[in-house]
Structure 1
Amino acid sequence: MIETRMARRRVARLPWRPAMQVFILTSVLFANAVFAADPDIARARQLVREGKYQDAYGLLSPFESTRAGDAEFSYLMGRAALGTQQPGKAKALFQRSLAARPDFVAAHLGLGRSYFALGEYAEAKIEFETVLRFENLPPDVRSQAQVYDQAARQTLDDDKPLSGFGYAETGIGQYRVNETVGTNALGGGDRRDTFYNARAGGGFNYALQNGYAIDGTLDLRYRHYDNSDSRSDQDLRWRLAGSKAFGENNLSAGFRGRTSYRGDGNYRNDVSIFADLRMRYDPDNQFSFGGDIRRRRYPEGRERALSRTTALVSAGWVNSFMDGVGSFSLTGHAGRNYATSRPDGDSNVFGATAALDFTVNKTLSWGGFAWWERDFYASDNIHFHPDTVDNTVFLRRRDNLYEAGAYLVWEFVPTWTLRPELLWIRDQSNAIGFNYSSTEFWVNVRKSF
């Protein structure tokens, strides 16, 4: 009887066992599906850090449509796309990352690298300058973007806060004094000198937390004239500053200086404090605003009275066109020279600079610039004039200063460039003795590190 009762219980339980198995299996599959809906971000981060970009891309790509609003996911997938030679895809992913997190410094660097890989050098430079700052760069936009791209690669791929660049160049050229009313009256218009020049320097950027950074550059220039009557030129320029990146903008403030050899063992020293704001309006346009207070101190002797303080403000615009292979910039400045013992007194100044750059291909680019400044002096003074009875005239000095230049850059092997450049200078004044003009042409070979 007991055995019959137990047998009935077993028979009664049997129909429930398949249902229970189905329930358990469904639960496990559902749990796995839920788990699989979340990408393994930690694993993807590790793969990117190790340079295994194809594996990282394969891990993340199934979740691209569902994680579009995740800044870190889009950034990591962008790094993976860039590492697998998909710069167009990487560009879209970094843009998506920044839309979700505008202050993401690494995504700005990644986006700049994507523009550079696509050959959109002007847009790359604008993007890089939301988070990086370097001065004393070569004049062509492609080389500038290349310096920034190298620094970005060091930061992202090497995962180090310190990045930098270096260079050395040398060449030969000719300096020629052009005829002006000043040279006609005072002589010197027949000067033709061959010169040899050399230049070396570099810069660093140290990334801190929350978009802060410290940067510095050093630039040493030397020119030797093949004429015993002409002094050699030596020039040392430096900068040390801090910056803060916020969204599409970057604010920088710091110190810059310049020491120039004036002959007979004497040097002219410039030291300034400055602030500069760069604003990326869109991928093709950047606006900048700056202020600078500089003290220029001449050595003891006849030039000492030329020492002065200069306060300047500036505003600029950079435009990228033709998909980033062309760049046009326009900058205006205004200020005052004061605290001086110059015979002509203080002066108000204003002027403008325009520059054009065009990249022909990955190894060839060209460009040029034009600079103008107007100086209004405050004091009447006696000046030389050849057409008066006593060769003097009493007037208030007015100057127009002009510079124009052009360059060609050819990268004949990686990191080596050939750089012919032309520079024309014209100082025009109502005071005869301050009229001057020269033309310089040189060819340099540059090695980038």
Structure 2
Amino acid sequence: MMARVKMISQVAALVGGVLCLTALQAETLPSSASAQAARPKSPELIQLELRQNQQAMAEAAARAEAEARAKAEQEASARAEAKARAKQAAREKQLSDATSLMNAGKPADAYALLLPNEFERAGEVRFDYLLGIAALDSGKPDKATLALERVLAVDPNYAGARLDMARAYYQLGDLARAKNEFNLVMKQDPPEAARATIKKYLDAIRAYEEAKKTRFTGYLEGTLGHDSNINGATSQAQIPVPAFGNLVFTLNQSSLETADTYAGFAGGLEVNHLLSPVWGVYAGTDLRTRSHASHREFNNADLAARAGFSYSRNEDVFRFGFMGDQYRFGRGYEPEPYRYGTGFNAEWRHPASPSDQLTLFGQFTQNRFVTTGMTVQDHDLTLMGASWLHVLGNGKSVVYGSFVGGRESAVAPVTSTNPNGGRPDGDKTLFGLRAGSQITWNESWDYLVGVGIQSGKYSRENLAFMAQRSDTTWDLSAGVNWHWDSNWTVRSQLAVSSNKSNIPVYSFDRNDISVGIRRDFK
């Protein structure tokens, strides 16, 4: 038993020794994997590993950059959305505040609130419509039409905007456009309340058009003044006459320049009646008188009458009429007229632009003298000319210019005292230019200035002076008007003129200063 135990112990010791030796060998002998790892790497392997490492780093950086960009874009988008919401809220608040002001009966305040943003928000239907009605209800119909036109350009069927556009045209006095817009709204079948309002406007327009078919205008005017040459005569009392060897003749006092104060009166009436939208007729008369304080022999009165018809096409106006004139001269204007005039005239007025008007005109007049000794002055006058009128930026002041050319044809018959017929100086060819302006300073004051020149040459030699008469006349006028209301005007005026002739008896200078008061009836 003991021997068996001893044997077992010896065997165990032997096995343990073997195991220890094996373990020791395992620690001292390298494995195949370690040996493989201990060998040096090839250059190709090193490059491959380097590229792999760089690619991994780039991918990591790209992921980080993409994540940062996405985060920045999200934050920017959030800020933009917040800003847009704030801007939209401000826009809505402006419209809401303006609407509240309109509802409170403060359209002027609503217009002042909206106006600063008109340029930025023009084209927004809600903004333009609110701006338009605020302008309209605060007395600015011209501004209202601009805003409402933008609304209708976007939405032609916006009945409310079209109705307010019609109201704006009505306030501006453009009744034709107002009527057209009201009728367009009626075709859109508006509510009954709107229809009743439109009907009132259309009735008012119809009543105005009926009244306008026949229109009367008139005026009365009184003047006080001083004229340095009431008879338009020369100041040269002694005239040498070539036909008599330059013998000097002395003119009598009535043929010399005479100064005097005077009182003038003028009045006129005209009626215009429309036969249709394009055809009309007119008639009118004017009376002008002048009475002198000391030299009543030079008192005079001029009565003129006219009648004719007019035709309108688009914005062009054509007029053709007949006229008559009777001029009286003397203390009590004498039993018979001094001169008669009859004839006709025609004109065409064309608006070349909203601020410019061109007028072409022509006239033919037969002038016949009644006073004994003056019948040799009978002549027919033919005139043609053109004028241009320009309205300045304020819409009230104007400048103008014109030219005229014509001929006086001497028609006195041959008699025993006038063996050659016609008048001593023969026919007259004339040409004239004129320019001027009327500047409106404000509602009460305006200023006038005008200058003109006219030349005239006669066809026959004047037998007494052995020369063909040639005259040049110029004139200058300036005045101030004070309007104390729309119908009453006080005018002060200075007129200076001069005629230079190669025949001295016809040369003269003249100065006229006056103050007048006028009442217009419209």
Structure 1 residue 413: Cα displacement: 3.5
Residues 336-365 of structure 1: CA deviation (Å, up to 9, x unaligned): 111432101011111112121111111111
Residues 383-432 of structure 1: CA deviation (Å, up to 9, x unaligned): 3xxxxxxxxx3111101122221221111244211111222222211011
Mark the CA change 1:291 to 1:190 in structure 2 (over 3 Å): closer, same or farther.
closer
Say if 2:425 and 2:459, in contact at 8 Å, map to a contact too. yes
TM normalised by structure 2 equals 0.56
1:250 maps to what in 2?
317
Residue 437 of structure 2 is aligned to residue 365 of structure 1: no
1:416 maps to what in 2?
488
CA distance in 2, matches of 1:166, 1:235: 17
Say if 1:68 and 1:74, in contact at 8 Å, map to a contact too. no
Letter in 1 for 2:272: N
Say if 1:221 and 1:236, in contact at 8 Å, map to a contact too. yes
Residues 204-258 of structure 1: CA deviation (Å, up to 9, x unaligned): 1101114111112211111110014533111112221101000121111111222
Say if 1:314 and 1:332, in contact at 8 Å, map to a contact too. yes
Match of 1:293 among 359, 364, 371: 364
Letter in 1 for 2:441: V
Q: Post-superposition, which runs of at least 4 consecutive aligned residues in structure 1 deviate over 4 A?
A: 61-64, 66-70, 73-79, 90-98, 178-181, 183-190
Residue 333 of structure 2 is aligned to residue 266 of structure 1: no
Residue 314 of structure 2 is aligned to residue 233 of structure 1: no
Root mean square deviation of aligned Cα: 3.6
1:396 maps to what in 2?
468
Say if 1:318 and 1:330, in contact at 8 Å, map to a contact too. yes
Residue 212 of structure 2 is aligned to residue 175 of structure 1: no
Residue 500 of structure 2 is aligned to residue 432 of structure 1: no
- Larger RCO, structure (CA 8 Å, separation 6 or more): 1
Letter in 2 for 1:333: V
1:197 maps to what in 2?
264
Question: Pairwise mapping of residues 46-61 of structure 1 onto structure 2 (< 5 A)?
Answer: none
Residue 167 of structure 2 is aligned to residue 80 of structure 1: yes
Please state whether the residue corresponding to 1:313 is helix, strand or coil.
strand
Say if 2:260 and 2:295, in contact at 8 Å, map to a contact too. no
Residue 459 of structure 2 is aligned to residue 407 of structure 1: no
Q: Which runs of 5+ in 1 are unaligned?
A: 1-53, 99-152, 384-392
**Alignment size in residue pairs:** 323
Mark the CA change 1:93 to 1:311 in structure 2 (over 3 Å): closer, same or farther.
closer
CA distance in 1, matches of 2:316, 2:266: 32
CA distance in 2, matches of 1:407, 1:448: 18
Structure 1 residue 282: Cα displacement: 0.8
Say if 1:75 and 1:94, in contact at 8 Å, map to a contact too. no
Say if 1:183 and 1:436, in contact at 8 Å, map to a contact too. no
Say if 1:317 and 1:330, in contact at 8 Å, map to a contact too. yes
Mark the CA change 1:349 to 1:161 in structure 2 (over 3 Å): closer, same or farther.
same
Mark the CA change 1:62 to 1:235 in structure 2 (over 3 Å): closer, same or farther.
closer
Please state whether the residue corresponding to 2:484 is helix, strand or coil.
strand
Please state whether the residue corresponding to 1:342 is helix, strand or coil.
coil
**Going by fraction, where is helix more abundant, 1 or 2?**
2
Structure 1 residue 290: Cα displacement: 1.4
Say if 2:406 and 2:430, in contact at 8 Å, map to a contact too. yes
Structure 1 residue 439: Cα displacement: 1.1
Structure 1 residue 154: Cα displacement: 11
CA distance in 1, matches of 2:507, 2:155: 63
CA distance in 2, matches of 1:67, 1:209: 36
Please state whether the residue corresponding to 1:209 is helix, strand or coil.
coil
Residues 100-139 of structure 1: CA deviation (Å, up to 9, x unaligned): xxxxxxxxxxxxxxxxxxxxxxxxxxxxxxxxxxxxxxxx
CA distance in 2, matches of 1:237, 1:375: 25
Mark the CA change 1:374 to 1:416 in structure 2 (over 3 Å): closer, same or farther.
same
Say if 1:374 and 1:400, in contact at 8 Å, map to a contact too. yes
2:110 maps to what in 1?
none
Residue 388 of structure 2 is aligned to residue 317 of structure 1: yes
Mark the CA change 1:228 to 1:311 in structure 2 (over 3 Å): closer, same or farther.
closer
Letter in 1 for 2:353: D
Please state whether the residue corresponding to 1:256 is helix, strand or coil.
strand
Question: Pairwise mapping of residues 14-413 of structure 1 onto structure 2 (< 5 A)?
Answer: 65=152, 80-81=167-168, 83-84=170-171, 87=172, 94=177, 156=208, 159-177=211-229, 182=236, 185=239, 186=251, 191-263=258-330, 264-267=334-337, 268-340=339-411, 341-383=422-464, 393-413=465-485
Letter in 2 for 1:442: S
Please state whether the residue corresponding to 2:317 is helix, strand or coil.
strand
Please state whether the residue corresponding to 2:505 is helix, strand or coil.
helix
Mark the CA change 1:74 to 1:62 in structure 2 (over 3 Å): closer, same or farther.
closer
Say if 2:170 and 2:178, in contact at 8 Å, map to a contact too. no
Aligned-residue sequence identity (percent) comes to 20
Mark the CA change 1:252 to 1:154 in structure 2 (over 3 Å): closer, same or farther.
farther
Q: Which runs of 5+ in 2 are unaligned?
A: 1-140, 182-204, 240-250, 412-421
Structure 1 residue 303: Cα displacement: 1.3
Structure 1 residue 81: Cα displacement: 2.1
Letter in 1 for 2:351: R
